[in-house]
Structure 1
Amino acid sequence: MQVTSTVDGQCAVVQASGELDVATAPELRSYLHQLVDDGARTVVVDLTDVGFLDSTTLGVLISVHKRLVEVGGVVELVVPHARLLRIFQITGLDRVFTIHSSLADTTV
């Protein structure tokens, strides 16, 4: 897994790549929570280059969502691939997160 971000004021765009699973989830959680602690109120997580994600990763995204809701913020996801989008649909998380098909479709 690799994670990079671009921060502009209270907006952070996070680009993840590789596999997001039980082994990488703690690092991802720390990274995203640090962005929130540093003042990000809109966090866009771009999953374009993610080949696999598991339920642990979904838990990380939910935890960041909850932290941001508490401070009036939001998490948006970029999920261009049907195989990953299906995971969000099956779990009902497509009703929790705003999901875009490309970074260009986001509000940032």
Structure 2
Amino acid sequence: MDLKMSYEHVSEYVTVVTLAGELDVYTAPGLRQLLVDMVNHERWFLVLDLSAVTNIDSTGLGVVTGGLKRVRAHDGMMALVVPHEILAKVFRITGLIKVFPIFDTVDPAVEFLGRWMHGDLR
């Protein structure tokens, strides 16, 4: 299955990247390139909306974690939208729930990044 990717700049600084499909060894390189492109264009506050992701494997988790490292290198932050229990369980089991701010919907994730960007949460 393919991974559909789109993004929207919801503010001057925050970008929402929406994914749909499977994030796995076959599709992860496309996401990696998109995240590299975002950082190269100074988009350092990203919401990754995983609402329509049906499966994520270790390669996909690695790309998501690598994306966080990229934005953090520029004092940025990445928040995840993970509303479904199946994917949320993956983040809990791997311990990544302690690494990423995780939300059920996009709006609170965007709001969180706005507060983070202005230093309210550091």
Q: Which runs of 4+ in 1 moved over 2 A?
A: none
Q: Which residue of 2 aligns with 1:2?
A: 4
| TM-score between the two structures when normalised by the length of structure 1 | 0.96
Q: Indicate if the aligned counterparts of 1:9 and 1:40 stay in contact, CA closer than 8 A.
A: no
Identity %: 38
| TM-score between the two structures when normalised by the length of structure 2 | 0.85
Q: Which residue of 2 aligns with 1:101?
A: 104
> What pairs with 1:14-93 in structure 2 (closer than 5 Å)?
14-93=17-96
Instruction: Please give the per-residue CA displacement for 1:53-83, whole angstroms capped at 9, x wherever unaligned.
Output: 1110110011111111111000100000000
One-letter amino acid of the counterpart of residue 30, structure 1: Q
Q: Pairwise CA RMSD of aligned residues?
A: 1.0
One-letter amino acid of the counterpart of residue 5, structure 1: Y
- The answer for unaligned runs of 5 or more in structure 2 is 115-122
Instruction: Flag the structure with larger Rg.
Output: 2
Q: Which residue of 1 aligns with 2:117?
A: none
- How far does residue 9 in structure 1 lie from its aligned partner after superposition? 2.1
- How far does residue 11 in structure 1 lie from its aligned partner after superposition? 1.2
1:9 partner SS: coil
